[in-house]
A = this chain, B = another copy of it.
Amino acid sequence: MSDAALGESEFDHDTAVRRRAPGEYEAAVSAGWSIGEGVNGGYLKALLGRALRDALPHPDPFTVTAHYLTATRPGPAVIRVSVVRVGKTLSTGTASLCQTSPEGAEVERVRALATYGDLAGLSGEVRTSARPPEVPAYAECVGLAEAPAGVEFDVPPLAGRLACRLDPHTAGWALGQPSGRGEIRGWFAFADGRPVDALALLLAPDTLPPTAFDLGLRGWVPTVELTTHVRARPAPGPLRLAIRTRNLAGGFLEEDVDLWDTADRLVAQARQLARAGRE
């Protein structure tokens, strides 16, 4: 398959929003980004990011926080955007994704608060002290749709949209041998070859398996809140992700994600607060 161009891929189609009134957008939550019991939170964040990009004068998400309120279902949705402030270099807005319940009531699914800017307008100075994670080459990592021998599982739709790969050193949990370190590393890419742009950086942090699996926990790890800082436009090629949990306590955990491009640039940092699944 040839690479999908920016604007023409599955991701672009499934995050399309149509303005029907000032600050009000129609969207269709695709079933193609589902996993486990829900719709992927990064995909929903990118949907909100599209509507925010339309409503704000600046093109790129700099910092976006989403609070996940109720379980989003595939199907129609309305996104309401409110512009909070427009400045010279930064602008801020809120976005809310709502769906209609079977009883006909409007239910809010996700609320976001975001500040946008222009990544192309930033200085070229880079003084990053963090080092890229040691992730084996893409071809040496494990596809998320590849089950280990003897393990049966249903490949979630999300895995088909992505060409993510997992560092085998952080995949022991799939064979019943979690390391206990709370670390997941791997690669992020779109299955249809779409380039990774700033909008895709809202999706990417939430696409590898949860670190909770490497801590020996099982089950769904619902995100309470996810904040992403987009710091640069990625160079072409897949991203390397390093995800870490250092504080599992009281039934909650954080997940810290560093996202690196092929030019060894730290292009985004994300942190989420999630509820721990049952062990």
Q: Do B249 and A127 have beta carbons less than 8 Å apart?
A: yes
Q: Which of A60-68, A138-146, A187-195, A198-206 contacts B (4 or more CB under 8 A)?
A: A60-68
Q: Do A122 and B273 have beta carbons less than 8 Å apart?
A: no
- Asked if A246 is at the interface (CB within 8 A of a chain B CB), the reply is yes
Q: Do B246 and A127 have beta carbons less than 8 Å apart?
A: no
Q: Which residue of B lies closest to A109 (CB)?
A: B85
Q: Which residue of B lies closest to A216 (CB)?
A: B127
Given contacts A70-B85, A115-B224, A227-B227, contact A123 B250 (CB under 8 A): yes
Give the top 3 A-B pairs by smallest Cβ distance, nearest first.
Answer: A122-B250, A130-B246, A65-B65
Report Cα–Cα, A119/B245, bound state, in Å. Answer: 20
**Chain A residues within CB distance 8 Å of chain B:** 62-63, 65, 67, 69-70, 84-85, 87, 90, 92, 94, 108, 111-113, 115, 119, 122-130, 181-182, 215, 224-225, 227, 229, 231-232, 245-252, 254, 265-266, 269, 271, 273
Copies of this chain per assembly: 2
Report Cα–Cα, A181/B128, bound state, in Å. Answer: 10
Task: Give A152 Cβ to nearest chain B Cβ, in Å.
Answer: 29
Q: Do A94 and B92 have beta carbons less than 8 Å apart?
A: no
Q: Which single member of B69, B115, B232 contacts A67 (CB below 8 Å)?
A: B115
Tell me which residues across on chain B come within 8 A of A111, comparing CB atoms: 84, 92, 94, 113
Task: Give A129 Cβ to nearest chain B Cβ, in Å.
Answer: 5
Q: Do A122 and B246 have beta carbons less than 8 Å apart?
A: no
Q: Do B122 and A252 have beta carbons less than 8 Å apart?
A: yes
Task: Give A247 Cβ to nearest chain B Cβ, in Å.
Answer: 5
